[in-house]
């Protein structure tokens, strides 16, 4: 009705709208990972996604960043949106019951013209108290907690809940959201970003992407025609789709398959975008057995219809197209960097001459695994890397940066340390 | 001649100008409707004997015959319909249970006809099955809770499976592999002719799907199709021995049938010919009466024992399923059956067919298959055991659209019985129980059975499977789906029309006009 005024509402009514209706949307996705776990500024991913302005319509933009909270790398980082102080009070009461709060603050933002009427956005660094029950993993408790908050507390929405990672999202174009959250001042080794082109008029901060659960973050372009099947499949394992979005159900599928059912990430594409039966029948017998079993068992986890997704997690970035490639996806490598994007332009924007640039086939995954051994190095030199990483170095390895300086972390003062 | 109160349901119109008295109709009608009077050189017809099978009409070379329904048999009465009056006259004459054949023809809501399917526009593309792969291959059987792999990564591997050695540690339970999610329902040798059985078996085998023996055992001449045959174990245990069990591709324990939940079956002795006596392993000419319950299954734990006994008897090499009729508590019943170890559950709905059933039971007992499928799928998912069994929907699947809707409500595959018989020539006269089927299907009279050429029957069935499969692919593609797995339980693609809130809630679908 009154169009633009409605757009930036962040209230429970809108959240209910989002849970009642499934809103198809076209989108832009872009992700960068440094496999050596070297951290770089969010400016690079902002520069990239901004090139795909045309692919979003200002009703949602967001970023997932990994490696941004090295000081709390073993603790849960919760990003939470609140409509009002009451929602905040209720949620913090709930948090205090289940967690030890190490540190909390309002996420620093800056006023920009493209972003109006934002909700209250807080972050918490938490240690789980557990419930003394050895049968439930910490992750399961956290999933339960988040589902409880998002469903039961009016005006509160947990945006991300991983370790050493965070999701920044809202209603606006992604480049504006990035500036709003001052992401140029954060450094991470893995970034994904999303610009949204939904087919509805209402916008809701919680409904922007990436969608996050535990360490997972998912950005997605497409509309999954198997949504009903996938939703009912995960519901059989206790996942309740509260937002009716494809991204949510994809996240739950990943959590179920990788975390709970322990399927190796390198096999996941065989489930989510399984090969055709005629391809399976042509495989050598060992592989045929594996593929056949996966498909027979996880037929309901097949994502059907057009999609390209970029999945972030603490240890890898993963991208996948639907099996007949109905959505665009481009990948490129340069040194330790892996870029994945809806279009080639953002990659060229931040990396003029990649070593290799390719268009993955439908159903062919692109995985950038962040090396584990670098963790130690990263721990030792966490502070050093932040300071040492000069734009020149990025230019040298072919990554053309970055208009702005790396920032001074002013926006994010770690008070606890 | 005794007074006949029952009125004829049909009126036979013979155009005497066209009739050439060739006596085709006289020879074709097993009900002796037509009679040739040589003195008059005229054929007379007795309306009261006509069952409306339209064999004579179809075969009359000059098109002289028309069989018309007599709508106005009695004075119009909304409450006391012709059918009620005729039934009472019949019972007043006979004092018996009224028998009938085929599925119920009562005007209960047919939910298939109140459900609409979806298609893609703009936000996602429809897929053209003529140009893109479209997969409808379906597996029926138990799925494990998860798969275990052994992965050894070669050094330097980064992407894909190329450099990784993977071994699957979990072994899948035996599965039925269907090229299309349509199988032929249980129809026993005895209730239908050998030629009909052979047509079904040959067509299933050639198309890569399955037929079902029903409770009458498997004729030795059909053993060559055994790899595409599900063998049934019913309460009468006719024709069941180790050989029979091990020949089949799967075993189905028949607890109930949609047309006659809670009661057994009766094959009259005159139908038990030498061949049928051999196949059923009962003496020639004796009545084959299957008991209402299995007398070794008085509760769910007994069913579990039978399931595992059959698995042991076949060395765990084939799926063992259970067929139940859709009754009021079908959801917990199905849940129990799954927990008892069934690899698939066949649910036969209110309108499911039969060769013979008491009319009052057929028309008044059970619930429609659409509601049963929806509530069973829902319950099994709530309990987290949906993957343990496949669900097969049966009981009046009339078209490829019904198949699509059944799968979107939660079935893995469907059984078709009546549709298959219709493809072979059945005209639904509902007189299967008389053994006088003029189309050579539900009869053992050699004069009648030879009317069904098994080669032609097979071809008709293959055509039906092919046509429906193509239509399923078209509808899938239109909805932007290219694998039938992605349709299973995908109720987002269904909308109800002219249904009330309660019905929509049970079906788990939105009303037409409601968006995502």
Is-contact A309 A30, C-beta < 8 A?
Answer: no
**Six-digit token pair at A262?**
């322990």
Is residue B156 very low, low, confident or very high in pLDDT (cuts 50, 70, 90)? low
> Which B residues in the span 456-515 are in contact with A, Cβ-Cβ below 8 Å?
479-483, 485-493, 515
Rounded CA-CA distance A178/A159 in Å is 15
What are residue A284's phi and psi, to 5 degrees? Answer: -60, 155
Give CATH for domain B180-511: 3.20.20.70
Residue whose structure tokens are 């063992």: B320
**Six-digit token pair at A17?**
């709208």
Mean pLDDT of B342-356: 96
**Six-digit token pair at A188?**
């991470």
Q: What pLDDT is recorded for position A390? A: 36
What are residue B20's phi and psi, to 5 degrees? Answer: -110, 15
Residue A228 lies in a domain: no
Residue A292 lies in a domain: no
Q: Indicate the SS3 state at residue A216.
A: strand
Alpha-carbon separation of residue B45 from B418, B439, B447 (angstroms): 29, 19, 21
The answer to whether residue B123 neighbours chain A at the CB level (below 8 Å) is: yes
**Six-digit token pair at B155?**
């050094």
Q: What pLDDT is recorded for position B153? A: 64
pLDDT tens by residue, B105-130:
999 999 999 999 999 888 788 999 99
pLDDT tens by residue, A128-142:
876 666 667 888 888
pLDDT surpassing 70 at residue B504: yes
Q: Are strands B344-348 and B320-325 parallel, antiparallel or unpaired?
A: parallel
Which range is least confidently modeled, A65-74, A278-287, B210-219? A278-287
- Given an 8 Å threshold on Cβ–Cβ distance, is B124 in contact with A278? no
Is-contact B120 B479, C-beta < 8 A?
Answer: yes
> In terms of residue numbers, what domain contains A105?
3-220+313-396
Strand partners, B341: none
pLDDT surpassing 90 at residue B319: yes
Q: Are strands B494-496 and B510-511 parallel, antiparallel or unpaired?
A: parallel
Give one word for A73, left, alpha or beta, with left for phi > 0 and alpha for psi -120 to 50: alpha
Is residue B284 very low, low, confident or very high in pLDDT (cuts 50, 70, 90)? very high
Residue A323 lies in a domain: yes
What pTM does this model have? 0.87
Look at chain A and report how many structural domains it folds into: 1
Closest A-chain CA to B143: A297
Mean pLDDT of chain B: 93
Of B143, B161, B481, the CB nearest to A304: B481
Residue A62 lies in a domain: yes
**Six-digit token pair at B307?**
């399931």
Q: For A297, what's the count of Cα atoms within 13 Å in the CB-facing half-sphere?
A: 22
The answer to whether residue B1 neighbours chain A at the CB level (below 8 Å) is: no
Is-contact B65 B25, C-beta < 8 A?
Answer: yes
CATH class held by domain B10-96: alpha beta
Q: What pLDDT is recorded for position B503? A: 97
pLDDT surpassing 50 at residue A3: no
Query: Omega of the bond prior to A210 within 30 degrees of 0, cis?
Result: yes
If one counts every other C-beta atom within 10 angstroms of the C-beta of residue B85, the result is: 17
Residue whose structure tokens are 């769910």: B300
The percent of residues above 90 in pLDDT, for chain A, comes to 45
pLDDT surpassing 90 at residue A383: no
CATH 3.30.70.20 boundaries in chain B: 10-96
If we measure between CA atoms, which residue out of B489, B447, B417 comes closest to residue B102? B417
- Given an 8 Å threshold on Cβ–Cβ distance, is A276 in contact with B135? yes
Mean pLDDT of chain A: 81
Which range is least confidently modeled, A40-44, A375-379, B243-247, B418-422? A375-379
pLDDT surpassing 50 at residue A391: no
Rounded CA-CA distance B5/B147 in Å is 68
Of B133, B381, B483, the CB nearest to A302: B483
Rounded CA-CA distance B385/B145 in Å is 9
Rounded CA-CA distance B424/A339 in Å is 60
Is residue A289 very low, low, confident or very high in pLDDT (cuts 50, 70, 90)? confident
DSSP class per residue in B317-382: -S-EEEEEE--TTHHHHHHHHHHTT-SEEEEE-TT---SSEEHHHHHHSS--HHHHHHHHHHHHHH
Is residue A373 very low, low, confident or very high in pLDDT (cuts 50, 70, 90)? low
Residue A47 lies in a domain: yes
pLDDT tens by residue, B21-37:
999 999 999 999 999 99
Q: Indicate the SS3 state at residue A45.
A: helix
CATH 3.20.20.70 boundaries in chain B: 180-511
Burial profile B152-190: b = 16 or more Cβ within 10 angstroms, e = fewer: eeeeeeebebeebebebeeebbbbbbbebbbbbbbbbbb
Rounded CA-CA distance A317/A35 in Å is 9
CATH of residue A368's domain is: 3.60.20.10
Which range is least confidently modeled, A350-364, B151-165, B281-295? B151-165
Of A229, A238, A276, the CB nearest to B487: A229
Interface test with B, best of A207, A295, A305, A369 (most B CBs within 10 A): A305
Q: What pLDDT is recorded for position B163? A: 53
Active site residues of A: 27
Tell me which chain A residues have a C-beta less than 8 angstroms from the C-beta of B135.
276-277
Residue A276 lies in a domain: no
Residue A25 lies in a domain: yes
The percent of residues above 90 in pLDDT, for chain B, comes to 84
Residue A64 lies in a domain: yes
Is-contact B250 B176, C-beta < 8 A?
Answer: yes
The answer to whether residue B164 neighbours chain A at the CB level (below 8 Å) is: yes
Greatest CA separation found in chain A? 61
- Given an 8 Å threshold on Cβ–Cβ distance, is B160 in contact with A227? no
């Amino acid at each position: 009705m009154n169009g633009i005024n409605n757009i930036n509402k962040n209230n429970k009514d809108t959240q209910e709208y989002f849970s009642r209706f499934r809103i198809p949307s076209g989108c832009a996705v872009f992700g960068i990972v440094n496999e050596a776990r070297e951290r770089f500024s969010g400016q690079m991913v902002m520069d990239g996604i901004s090139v795909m302005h045309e692919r979003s319509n200002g009703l949602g933009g967001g970023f997932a960043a990994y490696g941004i909270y090295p000081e709390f790398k073993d603790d849960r980082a919760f990003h939470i949106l609140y409509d009002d102080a009451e929602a905040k009070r209720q949620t913090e009461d709930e948090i205090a019951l289940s967690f030890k709060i190490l540190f909390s603050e309002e996420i620093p933002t800056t006023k920009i013209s493209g972003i109006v009427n934002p909700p209250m956005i807080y972050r918490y660094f938490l240690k789980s108290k557990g419930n003394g029950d050895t049968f439930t993993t910490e992750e399961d408790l956290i999933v339960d907690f988040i589902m409880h908050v998002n469903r039961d507390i009016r005006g509160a929405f947990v945006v991300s809940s991983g370790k050493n990672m965070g999701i920044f999202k809202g209603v606006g174009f992604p480049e504006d959201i990035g500036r709003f959250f001052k992401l140029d001042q954060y450094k991470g080794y893995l970034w994904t970003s999303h610009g949204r082109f939904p087919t509805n008029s209402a916008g809701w901060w919680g409904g922007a992407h990436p969608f996050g659960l535990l360490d997972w973050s998912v950005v997605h372009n497409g509309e999954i025609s198997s949504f009903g099947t996938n939703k009912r499949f995960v519901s059989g394992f206790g996942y309740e789709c509260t937002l009716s979005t494809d991204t949510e159900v994809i996240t739950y599928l990943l959590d179920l398959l990788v975390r709970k059912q322990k399927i190796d990430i390198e096999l996941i594409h065989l489930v989510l975008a399984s090969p055709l039966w005629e391809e399976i029948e042509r495989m050598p017998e060992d592989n045929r057995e594996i593929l056949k079993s996966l498909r027979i068992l996880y037929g309901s986890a097949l994502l059907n219809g057009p999609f390209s997704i970029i999945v972030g997690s603490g240890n890898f970035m993963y991208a996948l197209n639907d099996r007949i490639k109905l959505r665009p996806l481009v990948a490129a490598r340069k040194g330790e960097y892996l870029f994945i994007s809806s279009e080639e332009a953002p990659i060229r924007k931040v990396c003029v001459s990649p070593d290799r640039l390719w268009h993955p086939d439908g159903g062919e995954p692109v995985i950038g695994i962040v090396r584990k051994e670098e963790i130690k190095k990263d721990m030792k030199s966490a502070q050093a890397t932040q300071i040492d990483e000069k734009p020149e170095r990025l230019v040298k390895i072919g990554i053309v940066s970055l208009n702005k300086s790396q920032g001074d972390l002013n926006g994010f003062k770690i008070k606890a340390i | 001649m005794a007074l006949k109160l029952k009125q004829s349901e049909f009126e036979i119109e013979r155009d005497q100008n066209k009739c050439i008295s060739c006596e085709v109709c006289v020879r074709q009608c097993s009900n002796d409707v037509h009679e040739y009077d040589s003195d008059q050189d005229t054929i007379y017809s007795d309306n009261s004997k006509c069952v409306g099978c339209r064999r004579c009409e179809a075969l009359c070379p000059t098109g002289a015959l028309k069989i018309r329904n007599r709508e106005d048999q009695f004075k119009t009465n909304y409450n006391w319909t012709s059918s009620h009056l005729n039934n009472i006259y019949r019972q007043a004459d006979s004092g018996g249970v009224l028998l009938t054949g085929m599925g119920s023809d009562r005007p209960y809501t047919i939910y298939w006809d109140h459900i609409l399917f979806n298609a893609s526009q703009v936000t996602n593309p429809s897929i053209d099955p003529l140009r893109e792969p479209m997969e409808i291959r379906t597996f029926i059987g138990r799925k494990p809770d998860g798969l275990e792999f052994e992965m050894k990564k070669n050094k330097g591997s980064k992407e894909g499976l190329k450099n990784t050695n993977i071994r699957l540690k979990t072994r899948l339970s035996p599965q039925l592999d269907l090229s299309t999610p349509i199988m032929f329902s249980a129809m026993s040798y005895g209730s239908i002719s050998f030629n009909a059985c052979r047509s079904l078996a040959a067509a299933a085998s050639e198309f890569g799907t399955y037929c079902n023996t029903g409770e009458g055992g498997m004729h030795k001449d059909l053993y060559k199709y055994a790899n595409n045959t599900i063998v049934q174990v019913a309460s009468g245990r006719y024709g069941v021995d180790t050989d029979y069990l091990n020949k089949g591709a799967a075993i189905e324990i028949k607890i109930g049938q949609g047309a006659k939940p809670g009661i057994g079956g009766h094959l009259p002795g005159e139908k038990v010919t030498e061949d049928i006596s051999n196949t059923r392993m009962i003496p020639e000419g004796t009545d084959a009466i299957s008991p209402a319950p299995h007398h070794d299954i008085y509760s769910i734990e007994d069913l579990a024992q039978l399931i595992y006994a059959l698995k042991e008897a076949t060395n765990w090499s084939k799926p063992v399923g259970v067929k139940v009729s859709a009754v009021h508590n079908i959801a917990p019943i199905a849940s129990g059956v799954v927990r008892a170890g069934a690899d698939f559950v066949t649910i036969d709905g209110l309108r499911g067919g039969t060769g013979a059933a008491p009319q009052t039971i057929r028309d008044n007992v059970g619930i429609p298959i659409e509601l049963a499928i929806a509530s069973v799928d829902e319950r099994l998912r709530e309990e987290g055991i949906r993957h343990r069994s496949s669900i097969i929907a049966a009981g009046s699947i009339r078209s490829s659209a019904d198949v699509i809707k059944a799968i979107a409500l939660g079935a893995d595959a469907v059984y078709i019985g009546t549709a298959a018989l219709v493809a072979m020539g059945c005209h639904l006269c509902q007189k299967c129980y008389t053994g006088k089927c003029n189309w050579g299907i539900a009869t053992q009279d050699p004069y009648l059975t030879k009317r069904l050429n098994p080669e032609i029957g097979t071809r008709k069935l293959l055509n039906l499977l092919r046509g429906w499969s193509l239509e399923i692919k078209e509808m899938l593609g239109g909805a932007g789906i290219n694998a039938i797995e992605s349709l299973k339980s995908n109720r987002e693609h269904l909308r109800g029309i002219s249904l009330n809130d309660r019905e929509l809630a049970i079906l788990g679908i939105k009303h037409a006009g409601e968006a995502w």
